[in-house]
Structure 1
Amino acid sequence: MAVEVAPDIFRMEVPLPGNPLRSVNSYIIRGNDDGNMMVDTAMNRPECREVLERELSDLDVDMTRTDVFVTHMHADHLGLAPYLTGGRGTVFLGKEDAAFIDESDYWMRMYAYGVMNGFPRLDPMEAIRKHPGYRYGPLGEMNLRTLAGGERFTVGRYEFRAVHTPGHTEGHMMLYEKEEGILFSGDHILFDITPNISLFEEDKDPLSEYMSSLKMTRELRVENTFPGHRTPMKDPGPRIEELISHHLQRAEEAFDILRDSGPMTAMDVASRMTWDMRGSFEEFPLMQKWFALGEAIAHLRYLETNGKVGVRERAGILRYSLI
């Protein structure tokens, strides 16, 4: 059941069956004659469509008068945007994330880089089809408008601004209302779980970007934070400090593994890192190993940027070692 979390702002918690995330938060900001704004949707799967359609009906939301602000490109946030808008409302998405939507080789490039970092060599499409981002991503045309950050939106009583916070994805956007101190943080700041920072390409350092984005967010005056998953909170300041500390500790853990064990692939590093899951790394489902690998690569790249780790390629495989 939708809950009013601030005047004219409603939170809809949409279940994600069989997914460790458990659910995703979708929000409705009720407008006046200028229409409504929806913040994030859910995965493109029947269970999510059924819940969202029921909640939107209960709130008497006319989707023909509703635009959708998508914090980032992941399927649990973007997946239902084409279906819900039907090509009528505008879908707003960070320009860096939007660029990936039309890349026909996006998934193959990710898989190939994963193999270079030690991921098992499988039938590429067999592996890709198991990824929830591929299985439950958006289908159909969207009236898409890309964002660079700084764009302003008037919705009812509120004046929002898009805030670019790269890290979780390169084009991640938050929606911020300065006067009331309201922040839709997407997956940039989560309170009950830790945002995943992953990397599956060359020449990027998402963890350094994420740290900078956190420090920038720390300067905003925020009284209510509405995240993409789990529980809304008030001031995000203490959580920002926890997230910075967490990722520094994870980078230190990856450093210690290389110090103790010598050169190895990112998959080898990931298998030795600690994870908040039951069982050994070998027992993880394939997709959980994939997400762990992406996080390990991101932390190794952060160490590389900071001059602590080097990487060498041999026979198409990347191995990391201390400098």
Structure 2
Amino acid sequence: MIEEIADSFFRMEIPLPKNPLRSLNSYVIKSKDRHLIIDTGFNLPECFDAMKEGLKRLDVRLEESDFFITHLHSDHAGLVTRLITDTSRVYFNQTDAEFLTNLNVQKELNSFIQMSGLPDEVVDTMIKMRSQYRSDIGAWLGRVIFVKEGDTIDVGDYTFRAIVTPGHTMGHTCLYEPERKFLIAGDHILYSITPNITSWTDSENRLKEYLLSLDKVYDMDVDLILPGHRSVFTDLKGRIDELKRHHEKRASDVEAILEEGVLNVAQVASKMKWEIKCDSWDAFPIAQKWFATGEAMAHLRYLEDAGRITREKSNGKRLYSLAS
């Protein structure tokens, strides 16, 4: 589906096969000079075919197009590898790029995963998938134009300002068009679903960062929010208030779970409530166990830093309990 948002500004739905998100919103801004494509989809044939067909209908040639990637996740950045041409510019945040390329960060992350309590099958599969993804995007990371807070990108009659919003990823970046009051939000703010906030290293408190980033955009003059998934929407403050309440409820739920006793991260995740059509934790697909455990970890880290729970290490696993 292609929807015209404004003059020369379009939303394309790119299918995400076998994924509960169902589709990605890729935004295309046309110009007499260079077009801009914002986010792309997985590096899968279904995504590639949908992107090519959509661009054909919009009369947009890849040779005349640049890319802005809101964050490092493969449903947003994965297809860039197949779409870029020799003339393409790719705008991306340096923090996310370094997260993918810094070997010390990857070692810390892998060690952290192995202490989560997830089964070896899940750990091994996700480490391999992440390694393959880093290899795939190596084709374009070396030619990235790094975008930092306040940078502007001009496309036709539009001028977009970069707003760095760490949380969903530590380099997540939104775009704001002040004249039309558009906020291209990536996965920072979604309307009918909540962004997945995960944490896999000791060096970051992702949920705290995310809540601060919600505060950062709360008072912005925005008429239309253009998210990375599902429908566009208008009530920025109302949705942010809902997201804050959601995460405080999640944190309280985690505390209630820990009333049962000392648990590792995966055990906490298995007892949390998830909107996924599976009869039990054992039936969760590997990728969904990964994201659920990462989100449990983000809430545990948030609670630990707030002094509401404590952590210890035993037999190579991180264990959590209520603060006394």
Q: TM-score, normalised by structure 1?
A: 0.93
Aligned to 2:53: 54
1:301 is aligned to 301
2:214 alignment partner in structure 1: 214
Equivalences for 1:142-181 in 2 at 5 Å?
A: 142=141, 143-181=143-181
CA–CA distance in structure 2, aligned partners of residues 210 and 61 of structure 1: 35
- The alpha-carbon distance between structure 1 residues 305 and 225, as it changes in their structure 2 partners (threshold 3 A), is same
Seen in structure 2, the aligned counterparts of structure 1 residues 139 and 23 have a Cα distance that, compared at 3 Å, is farther
Q: What is residue 27 of structure 2 aligned with on the other side?
A: 27
Partner SS for 1:19:
coil
Q: Distance in 2 between matches of 1:289 and 1:15?
A: 22
User: Deviation at 1:115?
Assistant: 2.0
Pairing of 1:263-302 with structure 2 (within 5 A): 263-278=262-277, 279-302=279-302
Q: Matched residues in 2 for 1:155 and 1:32: separation?
A: 9
Contact 2:99 2:106 in 1 (8 A): no
Once the two structures are TM-superposed, the CA of residue 191 in structure 1 deviates from its matched residue by: 0.6
State the SS of the aligned residue for 1:159.
strand
- 1:75-122 deviation line (CA, Å, top 9, x unaligned): 111111132122421111111101123235766643431220211124
Moved more, 120-129 or 43-52: 120-129
CA distance in 2, matches of 1:303, 1:36: 44
The one-letter amino acid paired with 1:222 is V
Match of 1:153, SS state, is strand
What's 2:74 paired with?
A: 75
Q: Secondary structure at the match of 2:263?
A: coil
The 1:48–1:136 alpha-carbon spacing in structure 2 relative to 1, beyond 3 Å, is farther
1:197 aligns with 2:201: no
Matches within 5 A, 1:224-243: 224-243=224-243
Indicate the residue corresponding to 1:89 in structure 2.
Answer: 88
State the 1:49 CA deviation: 0.5
Distance 1:133 1:165 in 2: 26
Query: In structure 2, what is the Cα distance between the partners aligned to 1:21 and 1:234?
Result: 21
Post-superposition offset of 1:297: 0.3
Runs of 5+ unmatched residues, structure 1: none
How far did 1:193 drift?
1.1
> Structure 2 CA distance, aligned partners of 1:136 and 1:254?
36
Say yes or no: does 1:11 pair with 2:11. yes
Q: For this pair of structures, how many residues does the alignment match?
A: 321
Q: 1:111 to 1:101 in 2, by over 3 A?
A: closer
Q: Structure 2 stretches of 5 or more lacking a match?
A: none
Q: What SS is found at the alignment partner of 1:140?
A: helix
- Map of 2:63 onto structure 1: 64
Residues 24 and 229 of structure 1 are in contact (CA less than 8 Å); yes or no, is this contact kept in structure 2? Answer: yes
- Given that residues 4 and 11 in structure 2 are in contact (C-alpha distance below 8 angstroms), is that contact kept between their aligned partners in structure 1? yes
Residues 87, 113 of structure 1: alpha-carbon distance in 2 compared, 3 angstrom cutoff: farther
Aligned equivalents of 1:253 and 1:137: distance in 2?
A: 38
Q: Which contiguous aligned blocks of 4+ residues in structure 1 show a shift greater than 6 angstroms?
A: none
Cα separation, 2, equivalents of 1:286 and 1:84: 28
Answer yes or no: is the 8 Å Cα contact 2:196–2:295 preserved in 1. yes
Contact 1:205–1:298, Cα closer than 8 Å, also in 2: yes
Shift of residue 136, structure 1, vs aligned partner: 10
TM-score normalized by structure 2?
0.93
In the alignment, the residues of structure 2 paired with residue 47 and residue 298 of structure 1 have an alpha-carbon distance, to the nearest angstrom, of 32
Residues 116, 317 of structure 2: 8 Å contact kept: yes
Write the mapping of 1:32-43 to structure 2, written as runs, cut at 5 A. Answer: 32-33=32-33, 35-43=34-42
Q: Could you tell me how far 1:248 is from its partner in structure 2? A: 0.6
Question: SS where residue 202 of structure 1 aligns?
Answer: coil
Structure-2 separation of matches of 1:87 and 1:208: 40
Give the drift of 1:199.
0.8
What's the offset of the Cα at 1:52? 0.3
Residue 96 and residue 18 in structure 1: after superposition, are their counterparts in 2 closer, same or farther (change >3 A)? same
Partner AA of 1:73 in structure 2: L
Alpha-carbon spacing, 1:44–1:117, altered in 2? closer, same or farther (3 Å): same
1:186–1:137 Cα change, 3 Å:
farther
The whole-number CA distance in structure 1 between the counterparts of 2:237 and 2:52 is 34
